[in-house]
Amino acid sequence: GEDVEQSLFLSVREGDSSVINCTYTDSSSTYLYWYKQEPGAGLQLLTYIFSNMDMKQDQRLTVLLNKKDKHLSLRIADTQTGDSAIYFCAESTSGTYKYIFGTGTRLKVLA
Amino acid sequence: DTAVSQTPKYLVTQMGNDKSIKCEQNLGHDTMYWYKQDSKKFLKIMFSYNNKELIINETVPNRFSPKSPDKAHLNLHINSLELGDSAVYFCASSQSGLPGALHFGNGTRLTVT
């Protein structure tokens, strides 16, 4: 079945860049998403990328997609303490209504 | 405010009880979902409704019964609660078509004692 994997923890210093990685197995994925979950809250959509794109930039966020290797990454530039949260990648295939979520990466930003 | 809202935020109950969680979205979306997040933060789809029709029904005990009275509402009723049902339950919605990103409620933390 479909599977989405992420490393569980990442720790960075304030002002540095963070890179959160994700691998997925479903080659028919249409869209790939990044969500942020702060304590006690729901998941907030940060950005998404269509599977025929290689890169998408949105302010401090850069998403890179390597479709051949089924690898997705999220780079956060100038990481701030407010960026500390759990980050989930997810994939979906057009027309299936099914979103498969990764295991989540807990990002800790040190002041 | 446009949002996905679910109630209650916290639910503490004893084993064997029956409880319901309600969800409403005012985003005009045609698809709604229930997800379960366990203590390790793993998220698993439970159910999905598109235009009030059940389209996803994952391997979930039949003690869990979803109900969608209209496109804007999706409720979850749980019978005979068990300790293992303790988790955070998230409601979400999306609109058919691309990109179809999910919009989540803030979750209901269910604790079964």
H helices of chain A, where? none
Instruction: Show the beta-strand stretches assigned E in chain A.
Output: 4-6, 9-13, 18-24, 31-37, 43-50, 55-58, 61-66, 71-76, 85-92, 99-101, 105-110
What size, in residues, is chain B?
113
When pLDDT is cut at 50, 70 and 90, the band that residue B17 belongs to is: very high
Which chain B residues are within 8 Å of A43, Cβ to Cβ?
43, 90, 92, 102, 104
Instruction: Select from B42, B48, B107 the Cβ nearest to the Cβ of A97.
Output: B48
Q: Which segment of A92-96, B34-38, B49-53 scores lowest on mean pLDDT?
A: A92-96
Give me the pLDDT at residue A49, please.
Answer: 93
- For CA atoms A52, A55, A57, A60, the dihedral sign is positive
Q: With 80 as the cut, is the pLDDT of residue B2 above it? A: no
Residues of A with CB under 8 A from a CB of B: 30-31, 33, 35, 37, 40-45, 48, 50, 86, 88, 90, 92, 94, 97-99, 101, 103-104
User: Which is nearest to A61 in space by CA: A100, A33, A42, A23?
Assistant: A33
A97 contacts B56? CB cut-off 8 A: yes
Q: Is B94 on the interface with A (CB under 8 A)?
A: yes
* Whether residue A2 has pLDDT greater than 80: no
Q: For residues B113 and B26, is the Cβ–Cβ distance under 8 A?
A: no
> How distant is the Cα of A78 from the closest Cα of chain B, in angstroms?
26
Q: What is the DSSP letter of A63?
A: E
pLDDT of residue B1: 64
Identify the band that residue B81 occupies on the pLDDT scale cut at 50, 70 and 90: very high
Residues B96, B106, A65, CA angle at the centre, nearest 5°? Answer: 55
Given a cut of 80, is residue A95 above it in pLDDT? no
Residue of chain B with shortest Cα separation from A39? B106
Per-residue pLDDT of A15-64, as tens digits, reads 999 999 999 988 787 899 999 999 989 999 999 999 889 999 999 999 99
